[in-house]
Structure 1
Amino acid sequence: MGANVHDVVVVGGGAAGLSAALLLGRARRRVAVIDAGAPRNAPAAHMQGFLSRDGMPPAEFLAAGRAEIDRYGVELVTDRVVGIDPGFFVRLAGGRVLRARRILLTTGVHDELPDIPGVRQRWGRDLLHCPYCHGWEVRDQPLGMLNTGPGAVQHAQLVRQWSGDVVFFAHTHPLTTGERLQLRARGIQVVHGEVTRLVVEADRLTGVQLADGRVIARTAVFIRPGNVPHADGLLTGLGCETDDAGFVTIDSTGRTSNFGVWAAGNVVDPRAQVIAAAGAANTAAIAINADLVAEDVDRALDDHHAVGDVFTPPVEARLTTAVLGDRRHGL
C-alpha cells in the first residue's frame, strides 16, 4: 500500500475510539483518529464505574487517552467526517481526504431529550439517565423519574435501588394497571399531570413543576431518553445493515455487514458504559488487525508470483486466510 494510506481510520475520539487506536498503534499500524470534539458525557462532572478511573472527570480521561495514543504515533485529527467514499476515502469538513484500508466507527449516540424548560441546562448535572453512573452520588435523596415513554417504569424501579424516596412523574404518558401496581409495590409515588419545567435555584435542581402549578421538591431527576446513532449518515452511506432502531448490526468482533467496516461503543449499544465501550473497541481492534494481517499475507504471496517466483507455498501458508480471518470479500 502507498505511504499515504492509513491502515485504519477511526471515526470518533471517545473512549471506544481511543481504546482501539491504542491497541492498533501498539500493533504498529498507521492509524488516524478523527474527533469532532462532542463527547456524549461532556456535561458530566465525573466518570463512574471504570475500574482505576472511577470519579475521573471525562475531559481528563480523554486527555490521558490522547497522550497515550500519541506515544505510538497515532494521528489525532480534530475535524468532522462528512462522507466516506468507495475505497474508503474519508472526507473531512476541513477539506482533507484520508485513504484507509479499514474503517472503525465509534461515533457514539445522540440522546433525545424532552422539550421541557430546564432539561437541557441540567442534563448530566442533576437531570440524569444512568443510575449506575450517577445513582451513588444522589443516594438517599428525594429523586424523581420523568416518564418519557416505554421503559420508564422499569427505569424507575432501578432508581428505587438508590433511594427510598422516588416520585414517578407520569407526565403525558398513560400507565397500565400493572405498571401502577408495580410502582406502588415498591413505594414509588405516582404524580399525575404534565411536567412544565424543572425548578432551579442557586444553580441546583430543587423541584419539578406541573401544569397545575404544583411544585414537587426533588434534588435530582432521572429520565430514559431516546437514542439515535450519532453517525451523520455514515453507516447507511457505507451500506451497513441496521436494526429497526437504526443501530448498526455487528458480529461478536464488531464487524458490520460491509467489508472492511467495524463499529463499537454507543453507536452500536447506547447503554454501554465507558468501560464496556472501550472493551468492545479493543475487541474490534484485534479483529481488524487480524484481518489486515490476512490481507498482508495474500498480497505478499501475490508479489512473489508477480516476480516469477515458482515456489509453491506449503499448505500452512495457503491456509493462513482461513486462520486469520474470512476474506470472502475483497477491496
Structure 2
Amino acid sequence: MDTTTYPLGESLAETVWDSVIVGGGAAGLSAGIVLARAQFATLVVDGGAPRNGPADHMHGYLTRDGMAPKEFLATGQDEFTGYGGTLARATVTDVRRAEDGVFELRLDYRRLLRSRSLLVATGLTDDLPDVPGLSAGWASLVHHCPHCHGYEERGRTIAVIGSAMAPHSAHLAALMRRHSPSVTFCVNGVEVGAAERRRLTAYGVRLVDAGVTRVAAVDGDGAPVVIEVDDGGTVTCDAIFVGTRPVPHDAIMTTLGAAKDPVSGLVPVDAAGATAVEGVWAAGNVVNPRAQVVAAAGAGCTAGIAMTSWLLDRELAAAVSDNGGAS
C-alpha cells in the first residue's frame, strides 16, 4: 500500500466492525492477527509513517534480528490479511462515541467508520533537541536507542548530546561506553551532579560542558561528524546518540475522555492494555515509549486477546437478551 490514502469500498465503510485498530505497526498488526484469527471483523487503519521507518534494520526481536522494518511490516500485513483482516491506508481525524455506544471514526478522506471496540497503536514522534543539522542524520548517523543501534556502532568514536531527557542522557553516555573506548558526553545544558560526573569520568566518558550549537558534515558518506559547541570548540565523532523527547500520538484516547498521568504524561493502561475508557485499548509506543518492536508486538497480542474476551462477553449477553433471557 504505497498511496497516501487507500479508500474503503462503500460496503466496508458501512460495516460495524468488531474492532478497529488505529496504527499498523508491530502492536497493531499483532493485535489484528489475534482478533482476525478469532473470527472478529477487524480493520487496521494506518497512515504509513512508522516510527522506525527511516531505519535500515531492527534488533532485539528473536528470529527477526536485523530484519528491515519495511520487510517486517509487509510480512505482518500479509499475515493479517491472510486471516481475513482488512487494511486501510488513512488517518483518523476525529472520533466520538455514538448514542448507541458504538465508536465512530472520521478518516482523512471523510469516510466514517463504526466499531464496537478500538485499539490505539499510533506510536509517537521522537522530538530531537533544537540543534541545527541534527535531524539531517536521523536514523543513519544520529540514534536514540542504544539497544537498537549501540552494537552496530561498537568500536567507533561516539558522542552523546544532552537533551531534555536529562537523567537518560547521562545513562546513555555510560551505556555507550560499553560499546566504545571513545565516548564524549556533550552536556549541552544538562545538569550533571558531582557524584554522577565522577562516575562517568571514572568509567572513561569524556565530558564537554559547552552547549551544542550545530552538527555539521552529516552527509552519510563516511565522513566524520563534527559537533560545534558554543565555546568555539568542536567534537568529532563517527556517530551521535541523543535522548529524544517522546511525543505520543494519543489524541484518539484523550478525545474519548482518557486522562494522562500527570507524572509520565502518558495515558495509563492496565496489564492487558485497557484504558479507563470502556472498549478502548492501547499498545506499543503510544503508551510505552521505551518498548522495542518485540515488546510492542507482545503488548499488541495481549491487548488483542483481552479484546476478544470483551467482545465475546457482549455477544453472549446479547444472545441471552435476544432469547428472552431463557435459561
Asked if TM exceeds 0.5, the reply is yes
- 1:64 is the counterpart of 2:75: yes
- 1:242-257 equivalences in 2 (<5 Å): 242-244=260-262, 245-257=264-276
What is the CA–CA distance in structure 1 between the aligned matches of 2:219 and 2:244, rounded to whole Å?
26
Contact 2:173 2:185 in 1 (8 A): yes
Deviations 1:18-37 (A, max 9, x none): 11111111111101111011
What is the CA–CA distance in structure 2 between the aligned matches of 1:91 and 1:185, rounded to whole Å?
56
Whichever residue aligns with residue 242 of structure 1, its letter is K
Deviations 1:271-299 (A, max 9, x none): 00000000001000000000111111000
Give the unaligned 5+ runs of structure 2: 1-12
What is the CA–CA distance in structure 2 between the aligned matches of 1:121 and 1:88, rounded to whole Å?
40
Whichever residue aligns with residue 73 of structure 2, its letter is L
- 1:196 is the counterpart of 2:213: yes
Query: Match for 2:154 among 128, 139, 142?
Result: 139
Which residue of the partner structure matches residue 239 of structure 1?
257
The 1:260–1:25 alpha-carbon spacing in structure 2 relative to 1, beyond 3 Å, is same
Deviations 1:137-182 (A, max 9, x none): 0001111111113221122112111112110001123322122112
Paired positions, count: 306
Two-structure CA RMSD over aligned residues (Å)? 1.6
- 1:97-112 equivalences in 2 (<5 Å): 97-112=112-127
- 1:50 is the counterpart of 2:66: no
Deviations 1:85-136 (A, max 9, x none): 1130111011111110000000001111111122111111111111110011
What is the CA–CA distance in structure 2 between the aligned matches of 1:37 and 1:82, rounded to whole Å?
15
SS of match in other structure, 2:217: strand
Query: What's the TM-score, normalizing by structure 2?
Result: 0.90
SS of match in other structure, 2:187: strand
TM-fit CA distance, 1:224: 0.8
Percent identity reads 41
Whichever residue aligns with residue 238 of structure 2, its letter is T
Contact 2:132 2:215 in 1 (8 A): yes
Contact 1:241 1:256 in 2 (8 A): no
Which residue of the partner structure matches residue 96 of structure 1?
111
TM-fit CA distance, 1:222: 0.7
Which residue of the partner structure matches residue 208 of structure 1?
227
Query: What's the TM-score, normalizing by structure 1?
Result: 0.89
SS of match in other structure, 2:55: coil
TM-fit CA distance, 1:253: 0.3
SS of match in other structure, 2:190: coil
- 1:228-307 equivalences in 2 (<5 Å): 228-231=247-250, 233-244=251-262, 245-305=264-324
Give the unaligned 5+ runs of structure 1: 314-331
- 1:166-185 equivalences in 2 (<5 Å): 166-185=183-202
Which residue of the partner structure matches residue 116 of structure 1?
131
Which protein shows a greater Rg?
A: 1
What is the CA–CA distance in structure 2 between the aligned matches of 1:276 and 1:16, rounded to whole Å?
8
